[in-house]
Structure 1
């Protein structure tokens, strides 16, 4: 599909349109992303004909909260680093629709969200070149990560995971595993990716099973002193941590750190990942001085290895905020949480669960400062994201509902 798009690539700047119905919650998330970058996690069908896009708006059910939304997209194919988009009307069953297809992963700047006189929401967007957008260095770093650690088959799953499209990622990976030979050299990558998806969905039991399968494959193929074995131990530690099994979590993190120390140079980014996780464990053990020690080591390495605004920096600021929160230094905690949220909103899709976690952390800090109205506003923003991506039984959604009910009692 991508190769076909490149063959039929549009050659001139063009204004494109897309009409669809959206919920109020989805609109609120997009409004929060105004003047920021967003990325599409699927191929995007648009049209050069404004009337065609308006026709596809249809009429929402009077009893639903669906809103009419019309995307106005400015796309210039002459920019360097732009994703391909193609006029596919000659291949379509409906050539009069003047369809233009945009490639998966296209990055846009959301320039404005407003309602027009006809009660239609208008979203003004421009296709962004990865060479001149705010996140050029971050995209370059992530591209290197993908190319080094993934085959073409698992790359697609990795993109879906980073776009928080966990249901589709799970379906894709399960189909992929059904097609792979059990002794395939790359099957461990699919096991690991599926373990990550299940972890994000809150299915820790199955996540653990796939991570353990990954570990067995890696130990057999690569031996104990291999960075891939260390990565899997880190992942196992995250599951044990989520299950509140701190003993096994600490053992897994320490195993990962010992391997990385043997195979990596001082200051390697992989060491920072281990230090970060150990800092989390010591925070929960209330050993705050040791937690700060590991987290500051993490931050020092990440600042040297990563571009400004990389989401992994956001994770560390969030964890530092947690330490200051437990030390009752709420202003320091709030500053770190706000920095985390700012980084995540610029570097992740607007519906990513990490943004919801950062918003909840800000709410917790405001609640501790007895600023209950502000706390509730951040909890509700976190709820909107979690409600859009998680099932009603997910622990994160249950948690944020409790937060909202609790803080509401003080307003």
Structure 2
């Protein structure tokens, strides 16, 4: 289902040219499911499986993808390390499973599509900022970047100065949701709904949708359907 989807790296991404070295770092050779446990890597837990990423990139075409061969800087030159810069975008081409050694391989290629997506996102954010609260947008950006704990902490600090702001509680609820803390998420979403200006249809719809999503992920499908109906009016 993920074939054709994009993966955006939110940090520097270290890779290896040598396939066997990449397998070593993925714990594949040390996987107790294999018969080749000859490395010093700790065995993979039975609760986890290894995933190997294979990346294809055409340096003549992908001018927006920044990477460097840093093997000459490494103490382990023969690992042939290649470092991708922040913001590298890849498109998933295929995902396969090795039944013998019990690991998955995700084949990806560098994509310029991410640049267009980023431009659209920036445009979207600019339009939002025209009439929006800059503080809320800043903390929402932390959330969008995957900094869930930071966004939650920031919103919780805002309660001191903005105790009646529905968007503050909505932000806290979203952070709890993504961490699977569903009860806390619903408590804060309900607080956001109670405080929201019911004439602000966009905000009310956003709160109701978030509440419905919490119920959906928590297995309460009927409650989710009801909230989604309320969103549609």
Normalising by structure 1, report the TM-score. 0.37
Deviations 1:93-138 (A, max 9, x none): 2222110001122111011110135433111001111xxx2x6554
**Which residue in 2 is equivalent to 1:143?**
122
**Which residue in 2 is equivalent to 1:123?**
106
- Preserved CA contact (<8 Å) 2:166 2:192: no
Shift of 1:401: 4.1
Please tell me whether residue 403 in structure 1 is matched to residue 220 in structure 2: yes
Shift of 1:208: 4.5
Structure 2 vs 1, CA of residues 137 and 105 (structure 1 numbering), >3 Å: closer, same or farther?
A: closer
Deviations 1:166-217 (A, max 9, x none): 24xx2xxxxxxxxxxxxxxxxxxxxxxxxxx21xxxx7xx72432655x7xx
Shift of 1:33: 2.1
Gaps of 5+ in 1: 1-31, 150-155, 171-196, 216-231, 255-273, 285-318, 320-353, 362-395, 407-411
Shift of 1:162: 1.7
Gaps of 5+ in 2: 32-42, 130-137, 172-186, 224-233
Partners of 2:141 and 2:69 lie apart in 1 by 25
Matches within 5 A, 1:13-162: 32-58=1-27, 59-60=30-31, 61=43, 64-79=46-61, 82-116=64-98, 117-129=100-112, 133=113, 137-144=116-123, 161-162=143-144
1:277 to 203, 222, 233: 203
SS of residue paired to 1:235: helix
Whose relative contact order is higher, 1 or 2, with alpha carbons under 8 Å and at least 6 apart?
A: 2
- Preserved CA contact (<8 Å) 1:39 1:105: yes
Q: CA RMSD in A?
A: 4.1
**Which residue in 2 is equivalent to 1:210?**
158
Normalising by structure 2, report the TM-score. 0.60
More helix by share: 1
Partners of 1:209 and 1:109 lie apart in 2 by 38
Structure 2 vs 1, CA of residues 233 and 142 (structure 1 numbering), >3 Å: closer, same or farther?
A: farther
